[in-house]
Amino acid sequence: MNNNISIKIENLEKSFGEGKSKVSIIKDANFSLNKGEFVALVAPSGAGKTTLLMILGCVLAPTSGKVTIGDEIVYDDKWLVKDDRALRRTKIGFIFQAHYLIPFLNIEENITLLPYENKESPKVVKPRVKAIIDYLDMSDKLKSMPSELSGGQNQRIAIARALANNPDIILADEPTAALDKQRAISVVKMLKKITREKNVTIIMVTHDDSLLPYCDKVLSIKDKKIDIKEN
């Protein structure tokens, strides 16, 4: 196993339904992504972007095939992990189009919620969160409420939350869709910086072709097939 590989997909297929009502979404997908890569996932609406993202996030089971996260085979025609929720909590971070911050918790409480759910000690979590928030230049907002921040600032906090459990992989489902052009580019530049400096693999679903030059690779889905190109 190449210890630089973050995700490896082999002979993956995904369909819904049975018999005449069966609908195939992805066929015979084979690709691997390395640690520290920033990858765009593009496809027309309804072509399977979110389906693939949820498979990579171990939320949705493939119909068949193999999924390897790091050096662990997590799916091989069936789930091989005992607790897929624990896998997501410890190895995978999620960023969405909406920030989904909990409105009645302040920024620090939003970011620390997952590590504390993982039973991590405050002595470990607090310095990590401080380092993340300093890294994202938001250290003066820890005690603020989400309603007191702008859309771009809340998306930065959503990124901080995704980093809080020290994930190997971050899956970002159109994280810039609700932002204007300038803020969208700022967020994408930040995500690319994170991949380099934190050695995290980030897969970003986007409809905005102008963001693709910032990515290392582009995954595309066309006619149920997945293609990968170096940028």
Phi, psi of 167 (to 5 degrees): -75, 160
- Does some domain include residue 199? yes
Residue 87 lies in a domain: yes
Residue 200 has φ and ψ, to the nearest 5°, of -105, 145
User: In this structure, is residue 160 part of a structural domain?
Assistant: no
Helix (H, G, I), strand (E, B) or coil at 108: helix
**What distance in Å separates the CA atoms of residue 59 and residue 99, rounded to the nearest whole number?**
19
Predicted local distance difference test score (pLDDT) of residue 155: 87
11 in Cβ contact with 65 (< 8 Å): yes
Q: pLDDT value at position 2? A: 63
Q: Which residues does residue 29 pair with via DSSP β-bridges, in sequence order?
A: 12
- Predicted confidence at residue 82, as pLDDT, reads 85
Residue 192 domain-assigned (yes or no)? yes
Q: What integer pLDDT is reported at residue 80 of this predicted model?
A: 93
Q: Mean pLDDT, consecutive 10-residue segments, the chain of 231 residues? A: 85 91 92 96 88 93 95 93 86 88 94 90 90 88 93 89 91 86 86 91 93 94 91 82
pLDDT at 165: 87
Is the residue at 171 inside a domain? yes
What distance separates the 2 farthest-apart alpha carbons in the chain? 58
Domain region containing 57: 5-103+167-230
Amino acid at 220: S
148: in domain: no
Provide the domain count of the chain: 1
CATH number at residue 78: 3.40.50.300
What are the structure tokens assigned to 139, written together? 């250290």
Tokens of 142: 């820890």
In this prediction the pTM is 0.89
